[in-house]
Amino acid sequence: MASYFASSKFVNRAREVLGASVEPLSARSPFEGGKYEKLHDLGARKMRVLLRGSSGRVSTLSDSAVDDMLLEVCFILNTRPTLYYSFDAESGKRCITPDLLCFGYTRVCGGQFGFISSEKPIRPARDVAKIRREFIDYHWRALKERSLGAVKSKCPASQLAKNLSIGATVLVYAPNRKLGYPWKIGHVLAFRGDHTVDVIYPGKAQRVVTENIFNLVAVEHEKSCDAVDDPDDPMFDCERESLDRPSLIESLRAATLKSTGMTAFRLERGFGSTAKSGSSENFPMRTD
């Protein structure tokens, strides 16, 4: 509940303008109802239906007509079925309404008066106590467990999220651009609390940020997948390879490449010797 609803100014204005009293609902009595936004939206929708005859305007109605409309809306909300409940194995299912949780019976309107005639005679004190007890013990507990299960399924597992150590590599959820990756790679630098961690990003800036632990995902490192050569493998011994294999330049020292003409060029070591075409000093002529 917002703080201004609990202020003395709001209570006084509600008494002066509306003639109403403000009474906070007990957290242990959910059947007292009426404080949920979903219920308010349901009442507004029912009121729109009732206002169709006056083009949706309340100002055209008289005071007594407005009172009757509000009473009808309250009656619809308090007699709506919320769940079905079986009192024992032999009895059939009984519709549970807010009226039944509050008074022990459900009101009716129309030609009948009082409680529904097809039901058993009511015993308000005993029925109210029994229905409220069963509602709290079973239905309300099942509803809370279902809500907590839905919320828990959307959160990361705590045992995985907290399994971090200083220096561990993590993925940090940080949505930036529309087409960019929504995560960054960092390392755990320190732990500030139960849910706050200092993360350092690699790079020249060495930027340190404080992140929530549930925004981090530990990166499992498998050394066998590293793209690093095994130093014990002779296949990757560079020194052995340079000693055993002859140099390509040495092998080309006495190679002779024939051209389409009558002149042959002999490649000297180091490819440093050059001569003009037709000179016999470094490139002797030969005929086939």
What residues does each domain of the chain span? 24-78, 81-154, 163-224, 237-288
> What string of pLDDT tens digits covers the 288 residues of the chain?
567 777 888 889 888 988 888 877 665 555 555 545 567 777 888 888 888 877 777 778 888 888 888 888 888 888 888 777 666 666 667 777 878 777 777 777 654 444 444 455 556 667 667 777 777 777 777 777 777 776 666 665 544 446 788 888 888 887 776 666 778 889 999 888 777 889 999 888 888 888 888 888 888 766 666 666 666 665 555 555 455 555 555 554 444 444 444 444 444 444 444 444 444 444 454 554
On the CB side of 33, CA atoms within 13 Å amount to: 20
Q: What single-letter amino acid sits at 287?
A: T
| Bridge partner list, 85 | 94
Taking the model in full, what pTM does it have? 0.34
As a CATH number, domain 163-224 is 2.30.30.140
Rounded Cα gap, residues 234 and 63, in angstroms: 99
Main-chain dihedrals φ then ψ at residue 155, nearest 5 degrees: -105, 150
> For 150-187, what is each residue's pLDDT tens digit?
666 666 554 444 678 888 888 888 777 666 677 888 99
Rounded to the nearest 10 degrees, how much is the dihedral formed by the CA atoms of 109, 112, 114, 119? -110
Judging by DSSP bridges, how do beta strands 256-258 and 93-96 pair with one another?
Answer: unpaired
Q: What single-letter amino acid sits at 59?
A: S
The pLDDT assigned to 184 comes to: 87
Rounded Cα gap, residues 144 and 150, in angstroms: 10
Q: What percent of the chain lies above the pLDDT cut of 70?
A: 54
Q: Is the dihedral of CA 235, 236, 241, 244 positive or negative?
A: negative
On the CB side of 249, CA atoms within 13 Å amount to: 5
Rounded Cα gap, residues 211 and 216, in angstroms: 8
Query: Which residue is associated with the tokens 């755990």?
Result: 188
> For 104-153, what is each residue's pLDDT tens digit?
777 776 544 444 444 555 566 676 677 777 777 777 777 777 777 766 66
What 8-state DSSP symbol labels residue 220?
P
On the CB side of 52, CA atoms within 13 Å amount to: 4
The pLDDT assigned to 199 comes to: 92
The pLDDT assigned to 283 comes to: 47
